[in-house]
A and B are shown apart, each in its own frame.
Chain A
Amino acid sequence: MPADTKSVPPVPTPATAGADDAADASEREDAGRLRRAAGRWETLLLALFVVLLPVGQAISPQFLTSDSFTTGSLDFSEIALMALPLTLVVIAAEIDLSIASVLGLSSAAMAYLWNHGQPIEAIIPICIVLGGLCGAFNGLLVTRLGLPSLAVTIGTLALFRGLAFVVIGDDSVTDFPSVWTDRAFGNFAGTAVPNVIVLFAVLAVLFAVLLHFTPFGRSVYAIGANEEAAFFSGLRVKRIKLTLFVLSGAVAALAGVVISLRNSTAAANVGIGFELTVVTAVLLGGVSIFGGRGTIAGVVLALLLLGGIQKALLLSESISSYWIQIVTGVLLIGSVLGPNLVQRARAARAHSSRQRGVWPSRPAAQRNPPQEEKA
């Protein structure tokens, strides 16, 4: 039967019991476990990254150079930018697969506006606002109509990309002023760090602060962990979710502007397929697909790891680039499978079933077919 899309978590946890004190205490307990778990994952990612460095160097002597960093990070810059708001979206137990299409639409809009004589200074904010509107469209469908975000954003993935082609067709614009393309392609103040990466670092810090140090951020976690409880404890769930989608769209549009300037090419077919890599980075970063768990730091580390692996494979003269796909897929699955197996081994050893009821990641539910509740 068509279930309510805003599903009640199947396992009654103390958090839904209703008693305020009990809810608070277990919430804090949950939060504590949450953070400890997150810390463990980030440490693992860090360890993997550290291991990658000598391995990459062994694959190619040019790996540990400033060039590798410059070009490797540039290659990943748009993926990295889009991963930041998507982290928050997934923590809130939603998903946004339309980001690459918003990027494309932004690029197409850029080309269109340029062809109609607008200056870059005006185009950039317009495109970002356009991205925010696209995000709002997603957000309204999810919050007001209660549609599942997975299905909605699959639909808008096609819709926005289609609109991008309607706007600009096959044309592409390639004559942006060099002042701007140099900025997008170039490095910061003579160092080996690209300007775009500085932009990313600034945004990463902003998002980290937003997520980890503000009430808004804590609300996002709460919504992801248990939406009903969050709602009943007074959080404006719909408003917060809408904001997250708007952020996702706006940053995707920004990424569209960046990539168009960086490659000196604004067109409708830019960024096709990016969304899968961004989702991979977010999931690899320890953000649970069920929501309620994850950190910006983890995602940044995952981006470093993925970017480093891609760079090492690209530099290699003997390993075929086809392996990049396989490695990405295996890493993604391993990132969730690993902890699951570890947890099961531990639980089996402890012979304790009490532990299961309290964790927000709902291991009891995982015994059943996992829910794709991207509602």
Chain B
Amino acid sequence: MSAEAAHPQVAGAEARRLADWVFRVRELGIVAAFALLMLVTAIIEPRFVTADSLRNLALNAAIFAILAAGQTLVIITRNVDLSVGSVLGLAAFMAGDLLSSHQSLPIPVVIVLGMLLGAACGALNGVLVTFGQVPALVVTLGTLYAFRGVAFLWTNGRQVNAETLPDSFLNLGTGSILGIPTLALIALVVVVVVGQALRDFRSGRELYAIGSNPEGARLAGVRSERRVFSAFLLSGALAGLAGVLFTARFGTVDATAGTGYELTVISATVVGGVAIFGGTGSVYGAALGALLLQTITSSLIVLKVDAFWQEAAIGALLLVAIAFDRLVGLRLDARLRRRSVRRAG
């Protein structure tokens, strides 16, 4: 962006305001799509919008929203984390196994342990990407396999049963506080905390810098390696949290928990406005993306559309989302260039 160099301060502020506007438009776009979908489905099948049904929706999306929050951090830095499904599976089984044999273990301890396990996995990813200089796609593809293999070895065909888990733990997954499902509240808290941290802390903003211009960020003094490592660490920790909550929700866990989740999470994140090439997007958008995708699935079921159309519909939606982002990106570029030229001239 050579024109920007001419008036960095002014152009920078302009750009940020513009970018913020784009963010908001993007997020509003998803909200609009979500509202439209709800409306159409509700008209055809009113039972879709009862309190019970909405509660189920929130529950279904909660775990994906948490995963999407972590994935956002990684994708913003121009990386990707394909191992989240396997990490979730590991953490889910560990939580279930632990609680089955030690029923009196306090729930917060289990959650922390799950997050630690996830963080360890994320740290491995982070080290390989930053200090090993192995591309994230390669690393997380490899750890997707490796972690899943470890999960199979560990579980050895066993399964955790809802029967053996303490009720207090299962309530976490199925209960509500003031009518809002506990899981959804937890997801909301996570999304808000991560989202605000990304926005308000300098380290968060540095993630954006790393993603949009790695060389520039480095020259500007950003400790890229440390930031990227942290992004992976957090992604892993959040996947671990999601794993523990998975066990709380479903009660029955075996080695295959979370298989295939990574593509759904990445789709949700991209649909939510986080560009796959880094530098843009927000955790809020990603969480909304997760909600939207889950709503489509539920909506198609309720509308009695052949289940087989679901996957095709989600694929099509993802393509529309990235095409839309591309168009917006081009417009934004053009606008920035025009403004810079105007300023220079």
A and B touch in the complex (CB under 8 A): yes
Which residues of A are interface residues toward B (Cβ below 8 A)? 1-5, 7, 10-11, 95, 141, 145-148, 150-152, 154-163, 165-166, 169, 268, 276, 279-280, 283, 289-290, 320, 322-326, 328-333, 335-337, 340-341, 344, 363, 365-375
Known: A162-B313, A332-B138, A372-B277. A145 touches B308 (CB 8 A): no
Q: Is the CB of B267 within 8 A of A369?
A: no
Complex CA distance for A156 and B320, rounded to whole angstroms: 11
10 additional A-B pairs beyond A155-B318, A169-B306, beta carbons within 8 Å, are A7-B277, A152-B319, A162-B308, A276-B141, A289-B135, A333-B139, A336-B134, A370-B134, A372-B80, A373-B78
Q: Is the CB of B308 within 8 A of A165?
A: yes
Which chain A residue has the least Cβ–Cβ distance from B151? A322
Contacts of B224 in A (CB 8 A): 368-369
Q: Is the CB of A324 within 8 A of B215?
A: no
* Residue of B148, B212, B263 touching A3 (CB-CB under 8 A): B212
Interface pick from B40-48, B112-120, B327-335: B327-335
Known: A340-B134, A368-B218. A2 touches B311 (CB 8 A): no
Q: Is the CB of A290 within 8 A of B277?
A: no
Complex CA distance for A229 and B308, rounded to whole angstroms: 44
Complex CA distance for A325 and B1, rounded to whole angstroms: 44
Interface centre among B15, B144, B336 (most CB of A within 10 A): B144
Q: Is the CB of A10 within 8 A of B215?
A: yes
Known: A1-B15, A166-B312. A367 touches B146 (CB 8 A): no
Q: Is the CB of B279 within 8 A of A333?
A: no
State the Cβ distance, A226 to closest chain B Cβ, in Å: 16
State the Cβ distance, B298 to closest chain A Cβ, in Å: 17
Contacts of A150 in B (CB 8 A): 80, 137, 276
Q: Is the CB of A2 within 8 A of B329?
A: yes
Q: Is the CB of B152 within 8 A of A158?
A: no
Complex CA distance for A331 and B141, rounded to whole angstroms: 11
Q: Check B108 for interface membership: any CB of A closer than 8 A.
A: no
Known: A1-B279, A152-B319, A369-B210. A329 touches B145 (CB 8 A): yes
Q: Is the CB of B136 within 8 A of A370?
A: yes
Known: A147-B326, A152-B319. A341 touches B19 (CB 8 A): no
- What 4 A-B pairs are tightest by C-beta distance, nearest first? A162-B312, A159-B315, A158-B315, A2-B329
Which chain B residue has the least Cβ–Cβ distance from A334? B142
Complex CA distance for A23 and B131, rounded to whole angstroms: 32
Contacts of B322 in A (CB 8 A): 147-148, 151-152, 155
Complex CA distance for A375 and B278, rounded to whole angstroms: 12
Q: Is the CB of B312 within 8 A of A333?
A: no
Q: Is the CB of B138 within 8 A of A336?
A: yes
Complex CA distance for A344 and B130, rounded to whole angstroms: 13
Complex CA distance for A72 and B267, rounded to whole angstroms: 35
Contacts of A329 in B (CB 8 A): 141-147, 149
Quick one: which of B217-271 are within 8 Å of A by CB?
A: 217-218, 224-225, 228, 263, 266-267, 270
State the Cβ distance, A234 to closest chain B Cβ, in Å: 25
Interface centre among A163, A280, A333 (most CB of B within 10 A): A333
Contacts of B228 in A (CB 8 A): 369
Q: How many residues of B contact A (CB 8 A)?
A: 73
Contacts of A328 in B (CB 8 A): 142, 145
Q: Check B132 for interface membership: any CB of A closer than 8 A.
A: yes
Q: Check B56 for interface membership: any CB of A closer than 8 A.
A: no
* Residue of B133, B263, B309, B329 touching A166 (CB-CB under 8 A): B309
Q: Mostly helix, strand, loop or mixed at chain A's interface? A: helix
Q: Is the CB of B78 within 8 A of A372?
A: yes
Known: A1-B15, A332-B145, A370-B129. A289 touches B315 (CB 8 A): no
Q: Is the CB of B267 within 8 A of A141?
A: no
Q: Check B79 for interface membership: any CB of A closer than 8 A.
A: yes
Known: A156-B319, A289-B135, A329-B149. A2 touches B276 (CB 8 A): no
Contacts of B57 in A (CB 8 A): none
Contacts of B336 in A (CB 8 A): 1
Q: Is the CB of B79 within 8 A of A1?
A: no
Which chain A residue has the least Cβ–Cβ distance from B155? A322
Interface centre among B1, B224, B318, B336 (most CB of A within 10 A): B318
Q: Is the CB of B315 within 8 A of A155?
A: yes
Contacts of B145 in A (CB 8 A): 276, 280, 325-326, 328-329, 332
Contacts of B218 in A (CB 8 A): 367-368
Q: Check B59 for interface membership: any CB of A closer than 8 A.
A: no
Complex CA distance for A324 and B306, rounded to whole angstroms: 36
Q: Is the CB of A324 within 8 A of B149?
A: yes
State the Cβ distance, B218 to closest chain A Cβ, in Å: 6
Q: Is the CB of A372 within 8 A of B312?
A: no
Contacts of B328 in A (CB 8 A): 2
Known: A151-B276, A325-B145, A372-B278. A367 touches B319 (CB 8 A): no
Contacts of B333 in A (CB 8 A): 2, 4
A-B contact pairs, 17 of them (CB 8 A): A2-B280, A2-B333, A4-B329, A145-B326, A147-B322, A157-B315, A159-B316, A162-B309, A276-B144, A279-B141, A280-B142, A322-B153, A329-B141, A332-B145, A335-B138, A337-B128, A369-B78
Contacts of B128 in A (CB 8 A): 333, 337
Contacts of B308 in A (CB 8 A): 162, 165-166, 169, 268
Contacts of B71 in A (CB 8 A): none
Q: Is the CB of B77 within 8 A of A369?
A: yes
State the Cβ distance, B198 to closest chain A Cβ, in Å: 16
Q: Is the CB of A325 within 8 A of B148?
A: yes
Contacts of B225 in A (CB 8 A): 369
Known: A3-B212, A368-B210. A147 touches B323 (CB 8 A): yes
Known: A2-B328, A10-B214, A166-B309. A289 touches B137 (CB 8 A): yes
Q: Check B203 for interface membership: any CB of A closer than 8 A.
A: no
Q: Is the CB of B135 within 8 A of A290?
A: yes
Q: Is the CB of A333 within 8 A of B138?
A: yes
Write out, one digit per residue, whether chain B residues 2-19 have a CB within 8 A of any chain A CB (1) or not (0): 000000000000010001
State the Cβ distance, B297 to closest chain A Cβ, in Å: 12
Q: Is the CB of A332 within 8 A of B142?
A: yes
State the Cβ distance, B21 to closest chain A Cβ, in Å: 12
Q: Is the CB of A162 within 8 A of B214?
A: no
